[in-house]
Amino acid sequence: MSLKNKLCGAAAVCCLMSAFNASAIETKARNAILMDYDTGQYLYTKDHKKMVPPASMSKLMTIYIIFDKLKDGSLSLDDTFTVSENAWRKGGAASGGSTMFLKIGQKVSVEDLIKGILIQSGNDACIVAAENIAGSEEDFAHMMNIKAKRMGLNNSSFVNSTGLPDPDQRMSMEDLALLSRAIIKEFPEFFHLFSEKYFTFNGIRQGNRNPLLYSMPYADGMKTGHTEEAGFSLTATAKKGDRRLIEVMVGMKSNKERSEEAERLMSWGFREFDNYKIFEKGQKITDIPVWFGTAKEVGVMVDEDVVRTIAKGKVLDTKLTAVYDKPVKSPVTKGQKLGSVRIEVPGMETTEVPLVAMDNVEALGFFGRMKENLKYLLFGE
């Protein structure tokens, strides 16, 4: 959607905006976040930076590493891994957790392991993948930590590939949302696997545990989790029309409460917000005077599409301000940053977008500068 805008030029503008106030809705989740996929803006947060037990939602990092190796060609879907006794004991049916029901010594394809992780939430599948990729689950967890740091997920800590309880297995809601966004963006060829509802392996058919796949027609991923400490948890995404939202929540008391709270928050995000195109790439914003240049002024533009997620009732209250020093000293190079547009959306953090020169402006020579100085002395600015 497009947003008509009004701009005012200024040498300096000072303003203070508070973080988004999500008091319009509350959730029973202990920690939560709702993010717009395209803009990355947070629509709702509740202790979203706190490191908490992620349970099986940490399998998203295990999957990220597998997808990354498939993408770089070091792994293929047809490769087969062997099930160790350790993987069978720690992640099999006898462990009491979710399982793919793998057997000791069985050879299983990477494609089946991915489905076993995403659809069946198999702890055994995660351990098999970890051992065969890194040599041991401990070394794989080290890979997970390195990858998390490189991705800027600074509130995450891994000691296993499964999310089984451990005091050092922690993630924040923010990190899980950012990780989910990266998976969707970087691995579109594999994303459809998150929405598959059933998978049969070794003659055992299991359903996807994501409740939104059954209750919301536009939900299409990501991963559930449950331990006594974490409670019933969910990382979910849904796409309605052109918009996609990502939500993460932990601490619900039951599967029913998890389903209801997740659907309620997601529906609220789609209902109350929309994405608005404020500027188009290459759109001219204003002209800035040039001092001692071969042209008296230079046009400035934004060099990217600028889209913001805005509460539907606050669109007309959005304030746009062009901020720059004038005049600008020549020479000016096309693409040179000369200022910024400050975007103030009620209830959200103020952001700025660079303004860049649309053309080159050469500096005047000696006689040209003398002429301009004389004009200034005689007639002023």
Q: Check whether residue 243 and residue 324 sit in a common domain.
A: no
Q: Check whether residue 202 and residue 345 sit in a common domain.
A: no
Q: Check whether residue 37 and residue 13 sit in a common domain.
A: no
Q: Check whether residue 14 and residue 68 sit in a common domain.
A: no
Domain CATH number, residue 312: 2.60.410.10
Tokens read off for 22 = 């999500």
> For the chain, how long is the longest CA-to-CA vector?
94
Determine the pLDDT at residue 380.
Answer: 58
Determine the pLDDT at residue 9.
Answer: 40
By the 8 A CB rule, do 92 and 122 touch?
no
Distance between CA 81 and CA 79 in Å, rounded? 7
- Residue ranges, the chain, pLDDT below 70: 1-23, 365-381
Determine the pLDDT at residue 378.
Answer: 53
Q: Check whether residue 13 and residue 58 sit in a common domain.
A: no
Distance of CA 328 to the CA centre of its chain: 37
Q: Check whether residue 233 and residue 286 sit in a common domain.
A: no
Q: Which domain holds residue 134?
A: 31-252
Please indicate, yes or no, if residue 271 is contained in any of the structural domains: no
Residue that finishes a domain, picked among 219, 252, 285: 252
Q: Check whether residue 76 and residue 204 sit in a common domain.
A: yes
Catalytic machinery residues: 56, 59, 121
Please indicate, yes or no, if residue 3 is contained in any of the structural domains: no
Domain CATH number, residue 37: 3.40.710.10
Determine the pLDDT at residue 2.
Answer: 43
Please indicate, yes or no, if residue 259 is contained in any of the structural domains: no
Q: Check whether residue 240 and residue 340 sit in a common domain.
A: no
Q: Check whether residue 13 and residue 46 sit in a common domain.
A: no
Residue that finishes a domain, picked among 183, 218, 252: 252
Please indicate, yes or no, if residue 267 is contained in any of the structural domains: no
Q: What angle do CA 19, 20, 26 make, to 5 degrees?
A: 130
Please indicate, yes or no, if residue 264 is contained in any of the structural domains: no
Q: Check whether residue 243 and residue 287 sit in a common domain.
A: no
Q: Check whether residue 317 and residue 215 sit in a common domain.
A: no
pLDDT tens for residues 117-168? 999 999 999 999 999 999 999 999 999 999 999 999 999 999 999 999 999 9
pLDDT tens for residues 230-279? 999 999 999 999 999 999 999 999 999 999 999 999 999 999 999 999 99
Please indicate, yes or no, if residue 160 is contained in any of the structural domains: yes
Residue that finishes a domain, picked among 252, 285, 319: 252
Please indicate, yes or no, if residue 332 is contained in any of the structural domains: yes
Q: Check whether residue 84 and residue 119 sit in a common domain.
A: yes
What is the tally of structural domains in the chain?
Answer: 2
Please indicate, yes or no, if residue 262 is contained in any of the structural domains: no
Decide: pTM greater than 0.75: yes
Crossing angle of the two packed helices 110-118 and 123-134, in degrees rounded to 10:
140
By the 8 A CB rule, do 5 and 286 touch?
no
